[in-house]
Amino acid sequence: MDPAPIDKSATIFVAGHRGLVGSAVVRKLKSLCYTNLLLRTHAELDLTSQSSVDAFFASHKPHYVILAAAKVGGIHANNTYPADFITINLQIQTNVISSAFKHNTRKLLFLGSSCIYPKFAPQPIPESALLTGPLEPTNEWYAIAKISGIKMCQAFRIQHSFDAISAMPTNLYGPNDNFHPENSHVLPALLRRFHEAKVNNVEKVIVWGSGMPLREFLHVDDLADAVVFLLENYSDMEHVNVGSGEGGNH
């Protein structure tokens, strides 16, 4: 399936537009003069409600969908709320992907997470590492939901020739991140701890972990560049990693 040029006036639904990724994608699309963005807050559209999502798609029939909406959090949040992480994310993905196909969306881009890969995947992680080993136990509920999203996109492509693609970003940071003291990801959590230590004249900061894992970080605006590029240029089965391809420092 060859990618088709996107008209700047095409209707694009950015699900999760107020989050870290969604807000960056909206900034990028606006900078490129895309003029017809469909944006809904959670209060306006509950993506976990199948009937609400279907009614939205039936009414607005977006030409393109960027699925950046998800329940996200760091290790502590994943450990504390595993049922929420698997249930809510599966609901969002199933509702949006199936309604997009049903109401003739031209193309859908699903955003996953690097945690989909096995705990002991080779570094840097290739796309082929997916489903080759056990997941990291602390966030496997979220990972399984995201893997299901990839496979759902592939299944709709195989059975219905629906142009659904998936992108897997590495660890992200940037504007509109979640800086919650316990439920945030590693980089915003570290930024908050160091900032508060500086403000309060604290001599040392305690950081979780052994210090041995490698981390790769990507600014969310760079991800947004990749998202729009893939939307405009990529159409295939395999999910696409988005990152530098190099592990970070300890």
Q: Residues with catalytic annotation?
A: 142
Task: Determine the distance from the C-alpha atom of residue 51 to the mean position of all C-alpha atoms in its chain, rounded to a whole number.
Answer: 23
- Which token pair is 170? 């590495």
CA distance linking residue 51 with residue 21, whole number of Å: 25
CA distance linking residue 181 with residue 107, whole number of Å: 37
Count how many residues are written for the chain: 250
Helix, strand, coil shares, percent, the chain, to 5: 45, 10, 45
Contact in structure between 6 and 64 (CB atoms under 8 Å):
yes
Contact in structure between 108 and 65 (CB atoms under 8 Å):
yes
Strand-pairing partners, residue 126, are none
CA distance linking residue 120 with residue 112, whole number of Å: 19
First to last CA, the chain: 41
C-beta atoms surrounding 146 within 10 Å: 26
Print burial letters for 60-77: b (CB count within 10 Å at least 16), e (below 16).
Answer: eebbbbbbbbbbbbbbbb
Cis peptide before 169 (omega within 30 of 0): no
